[in-house]
Amino acid sequence: MYGKGENFDDRKRWERVDKAQRGAAALNDAAIWRLKNAADAMDNGKLDSASIRTMEDFEKAFGDEAATAANMRGVAQRYEQANAALRDTSQFKVNAHNSKEFYAIRTGASPDSMGSAPNGSTRMDLNFGHDDIGKDEKLMWTMAHEALHGRGSALRDYKIPGVTRNDDEIGAYKFDRGGGGRKLFEELKDDPGQTLINPDHLVSFAQDFGLTEALEALPRPRRKR
Ligand SMILES: [Zn+2]
């Protein structure tokens, strides 16, 4: 897990963050399991109903025509890289900030950000001044997203150069209250080459689709780490 960085004197705050990152990693595990099974079934020409459901969910998340075995294995690998960060106990650190500190430290962060992680780094910063950070599911989404920027997968948010709002380039984000980002997030599904490497589309597949089946599909018993 990302280790405890700055401003976690409040035990409850840390417990929420740690629970969120464990939840994000578990949902990534479930997605990896589904994707590998479906990719194997496609390669073997033996599609069962679970694999077909995975293919349908995959195309809802990433766009039509996206559900190839190679694409599924590529996405599974990105989740594995994110989980290596979410489950690292020594090198990765997460820090908590109020909004003022957050934007002072993370000058490149988009407006209305709940979190930020320098590309390819081992740190994550969370904005505890954000209205939605008190919602466990939003915190889990944010940690899953930021881990995909970290060392390992080191993905970047999709942005169109020059398409800006208040001088910041608009990213393809599912949650974007300022407008623009959500539209870009939906439109990008016409281009699976981009959705397959855009953090919010990856988080969406793992957290928005087929969760019950995904969690049931996980091999049990799982050893605690
Ligand atoms: Zn991002």
Q: Please determine, looking at this structure, whether the domain spanning 3-157+193-217 carries the CATH number 2.40.400.10.
A: no
pLDDT per residue over 147-178, tens digit each? Answer: 999 999 999 999 987 777 767 788 899 998 77
Residue 148 alpha carbon to ligand 1 centre in Å: 8
Confidence band for 134, pLDDT divided at 50, 70 and 90:
very high
One-character DSSP codes across 160-188: EEEEEETTEEEE--SS-TTSSHHHHHHHG
Residue 222 alpha carbon to ligand 1 centre in Å: 30
Residue 58 alpha carbon to ligand 1 centre in Å: 21
What is the predicted pLDDT for the residue at 225?
53
Residues ≥6 apart with Cβ < 8 Å to 5:
93, 94, 95, 96, 123
| Residues with Cβ–ion distance below 5 A, ligand 1 | 157
Residue 110, SS3 per DSSP? coil
Across all residues in the chain, what is the average pLDDT? Answer: 91
18-27, 38-47, 114-123, 164-173: segment of lowest average pLDDT = 164-173
Residue 113 alpha carbon to ligand 1 centre in Å: 9
- Beta bridge pairs of residue 169: 164
What is the predicted pLDDT for the residue at 221?
57
What is the predicted pLDDT for the residue at 223?
55
Token digits of residue 59: 């195309």
What is the predicted pLDDT for the residue at 162?
77
CA-wise closest residue to 85 among 3, 150, 16, 156: 150
pTM more than 0.95: no
Token digits of residue 57: 């969910």
What torsion, rounded to 10 degrees, do the Cα atoms 181, 83, 196, 56 define? -100
What is the predicted pLDDT for the residue at 170?
84
CA 40 to chain centre: 24
Rounded CA-CA distance 143/138 in Å is: 9
Residue 57 alpha carbon to ligand 1 centre in Å: 22
In contact, 16 and 114? CB cutoff 8 Å:
no
